Structure 1
């Protein structure tokens, strides 16, 4: 079958669910993955034929897209901070606002390096998922010693794979942070993007997130939405070095509650930061 013939069918099937630009993006992501050809290469081969095996691959992907499964899970890969990452049903798909959190940490560490004249730094990430935060920090800060904690054995396996894929060393630890009594050692930086979506916010979320991304990594109870932040902030209080800093990705609806929580625990220097959409999605705190 000619690819352009299949393309027409692909578009027809998905245009009732997605904008045309998104369908186009899906199609060319799949052609690059399955045919190893770029969009430009295909434009130069208008009569390109796909064989039965390739057609089967496209058909399976099309059915999954029609069920609104995220393209990242279909391809089992995504990009974060310019680096490749494997993802699957045990890991969240990394978001752009998390890239902004990583960039903030890198900027602060660079400024700290100028002040202290040392590049050595110890970093702990809590709730690693795919490993996108600690691995990106390890890539960008090669002299940093990076560790990461997650409760999910399956997520940690993906994070290990991603560490090897990106050729960095990160120490991964399986632990339920809510059951932890202390953190392994002292750190200059502790960062976490914990579960923070309240059950009441589910109705605002896309079905593809609700149906396919891991609930364990997303949701908290309405009556205790800051449960992870409270626990991590208390543990970090005893695990940060003298000038150490705690960083969080936060729920855009709860910035004031976050500040109050951190003040209550004893943090003195607290800063909220907006993402590119003007929403408070990050904070940092120190003593």
Structure 2
């Protein structure tokens, strides 16, 4: 079968579940990963054929996409901040909003002395996307990353290797931590923040496949991770050190109150590209 013909079938099968543009984007992601071909190759060589073995591989992926398993898990990889990351069912798929958080941190360092030896801590690192991206873009920084999941840490270590950066990974339950034992210039966290009451807003492909440990918090204490991390940051940030959070879009006001109530200065709330309250920054 010609790849071009299979493409039409592929999009038609997925159209009732995903919109046509998304189904088409899946096709070209798989084409590049499994056939090492780009969209331009198909345009220039419209008669390219798929073998029966190749069709079997494509059909297997198609069946899993019909079950709404995320394409990133099926391919085992994704892109974040211009870097390649391995992903699997043990880690959240990195989001574009989190790229904006990384961008905010890097933006804040532009005016600083380039030789400054920063110490950075990423709490709840998951795939390592924040820690690895910061290490890649701040070569003078010493980056540490904590997670409670050993499986997530194994993935994060692999991602540090893939991107040729050095990050110190630590297995630790932050809610049970009394002291971080070092001083840091920057502490950043994208902790679990989705309340159970918001589950109905979560897409099925996320709800059924991504690790709930990294997503959800109890409705009656939605800021549990932020409060604990902010307490530790007051002990373990350097003077004028900065604390960055990705936050629940519905709790921007509560986050400002929390940080100001814990004596952080110059507290800022920033919106993401979708105009949702998504990030906060406070200074010790």
TM-score of the two chains, using structure 1 as the length reference? 0.96
Q: Which moved more, 1:15-24 or 1:259-268?
A: 259-268
- 1:2 alignment counterpart: 2
Q: Deviations over 1:200-239 (max 9, x none)?
A: 1111111111011110000000000000000000011100
User: Matched residue of 2:29: which SS?
Assistant: helix
Counterparts of 1:120-159 in structure 2, within 5 Å, are 120-159=117-156
Query: Which range moves more in the overlay, 158-167 or 175-184?
Result: 175-184
Give the whole-Å Cα distance in 2 for the aligned partners of 1:9 and 1:275. 36
| Alignment pair present for 1:112 and 2:109 | no
State the Cα deviation string for residues 13-51 of structure 1 (Å, max 9, x = none).
Answer: 111111111111011111111100111111222121111
Question: For each residue in 1:122-166, what CA deviation from the matched residue of structure 2 results, as whole angstroms up to 9, or x when unmatched?
Answer: 000000011000100001100000000000101111100100000
Q: Is the deviation greater in 264-273 or in 88-97? A: 264-273
Q: Count residues with an aligned counterpart.
A: 284
Aligned match of 1:237: 234
Secondary structure, in 3 states, of the residue corresponding to 2:111? helix
Output the CA distance in 2 between the equivalents of 1:104 and 1:240.
18
SS in 2 for 1:148: strand
Map 1:157-168; keep pairs closer than 5 Å: 157-168=154-165
Judge which range, 57-66 or 269-278, deviates more. Answer: 269-278
User: Which structure 2 segments of 5+ residues have no match?
Assistant: none
Structure 2 counterpart of 1:280: 277
- SS at structure 2 position matched to 1:254: helix
Query: Normalized against structure 2, the TM-score is what?
Result: 0.97
Deviations 1:38-79 (A, max 9, x none): 111112221211112211210111011100111111111000
> Displacement of 1:279 after TM fit?
1.6
Q: Which residue of 2 aligns with 1:222?
A: 219
What is the CA distance between 1:112 and its match in structure 2?
Answer: 2.9
Aligned to 1:43: 43
The corresponding residue for 1:94 is 94
Q: Which runs of 5+ in 1 are unaligned?
A: none
| Secondary structure of 1:233 counterpart | helix
Residue of 258, 261, 265 corresponding to 2:262: 265
What is the match of residue 54 of structure 1?
A: 54
**CA–CA separation in structure 1 for the residues paired with 2:181 and 2:156:** 19
User: What secondary structure sits across from 1:262 in the alignment?
Assistant: helix
Alpha-carbon distance in structure 2 between the residues aligned to 1:77 and 1:118: 33
SS of the residue corresponding to residue 130 of structure 1 reads: coil
- Alignment root-mean-square deviation, CA: 1.1
Cα drift, residue 12 of structure 1: 2.0
